[in-house]
Amino acid sequence: MTKLLYEGKAKKVFATDKPDHVVQYFKDDATAFNAQKRGTIVDKGVVNNKVASRLFQLLEEQGVQTHFIEQLSDREMLAKKVAIVPIEVVVRNIVAGSLAKRLGLKEGEKIEPVLVEFYYKDDALGDPLITEEHVRLMKLATPSVVEDIKKQARRVNEVLVPFFKERNMVLVDFKLEFGIHHNKLILADEISPDTCRIWDAKTGDVMDKDRFRKDMGKIEEAYQEVLKRVCG
C-alpha cells in the first residue's frame, strides 16, 4: 500500500519507497472559482500528466530544474518530493482573465515586458494577489528565493512561448508553483491546460480550462487537441 500524502482538487500525491520521491496522480476532477464550480473532464488527468511530463522534460533540457523524474503511467508522474512555496506565480503575455477584470484592461492586448504576479496559495482566502512586500511580511519566501522565482518564471516563459508557437498555439498566461528540494528551488506541480491559457494561433479558439470555467462546451476535445499538438 502506498500512503496518500496529500489530496488536492486535481491531483493526489502518494509516498514511494524512497523518502525523496513521490507519485503525482492526475484526476479528472475539475473545479473553478475556488471550487464553487465542480465537474469532471473525461481523461483530463491523462492529458495533464502527459502534457506536464513533456513540458517539464523540455524545461529540463533547457536548464530549468523541475521536480519531474519520469512519467510512470497514463495518470502517474514520479517526482522529487518538495516543500511547496505557498505562492502561485502567474506569468502573463497577453491580457486575459483576472487581470482584465481587476484593472479594466482590454482582453487580448499584448503585455510587454511580460508580467509576473504572486498570489498567496490559500483556499480559505481565495488565493489573493500579493506583492513582494506581503511575501516578506508573511515570510512566504526569502528575498533571494523571490528573485530566483522571478528569474525562473521568466525563463520558463522564454522556453514555452516558442514551443507553443511552433505548434500553432498562443501561450497567453500560466500559473507555476515552486518547491524546495534539498535547499534548492525547483519548479513543481504541473503545467497543463488546467494551469495555462492557450489560444489557437489561427482562430483564437480557447483550448484550456476557460472552456470549463465559462461553460463553452467541447472541453474534452480542446484538451485532446492540446495533447496532440504538444506530444503528438
Nearer to ligand TMP, 21 or 121 (CB): 121
35 is in the binding site of which of ligand TMP, ligand ASP, none (Cβ under 5 to 8 A by kind)? ligand ASP
Cβ atoms 174, 160 nearer than 8 A = yes
Nearer to ligand ASP, 210 or 225 (CB): 210
Out of 9, 27, 167, 229, which residue is the one contacting ligand ASP (CB under 6 A)? 9
Stretch that binds ligand TMP, among 37-45, 49-57, 162-170, 192-200 (CB under 6 A): 192-200
Minimum CB–partner distance for residue 31 and ligand ASP (Å): 3
Give the single-character DSSP code of 124.
G
Minimum CB–partner distance for residue 34 and ligand TMP (Å): 7
d(CA 209, CA 48): 11
Hey, which bits of 81-195 come out as E strands?
A: 83-84, 87-94, 110-120, 129-130, 169-181, 184-188
φ/ψ bin of 13: left (φ > 0), alpha (ψ from -120 to 50), beta (otherwise): beta
Is residue 222 near ligand TMP by the rule CB under 6 A? Answer: no
Is residue 213 near ligand ASP by the rule CB under 6 A? Answer: yes
Minimum CB–partner distance for residue 121 and ligand TMP (Å): 9
Out of 187, 196, 206, 230, which residue is the one contacting ligand TMP (CB under 6 A)? 196
Asked if the bond preceding 113 is cis, omega within 30° of 0, the reply is yes
Stretch that binds ligand ASP, among 27-35, 49-57, 80-88, 130-138 (CB under 6 A): 27-35
Angle (deg, nearest 10), helices 44-61 and 219-231? 30
d(CA 78, CA 215): 33
Query: Cell match 515570510: residue?
Result: 139
Nearer to ligand TMP, 186 or 191 (CB): 191
Binding mask 82-101 for ligand TMP (x = CB under 6 A): --------x-----xxxx--
CA angle 184, 185, 189 (to 5 degrees): 130
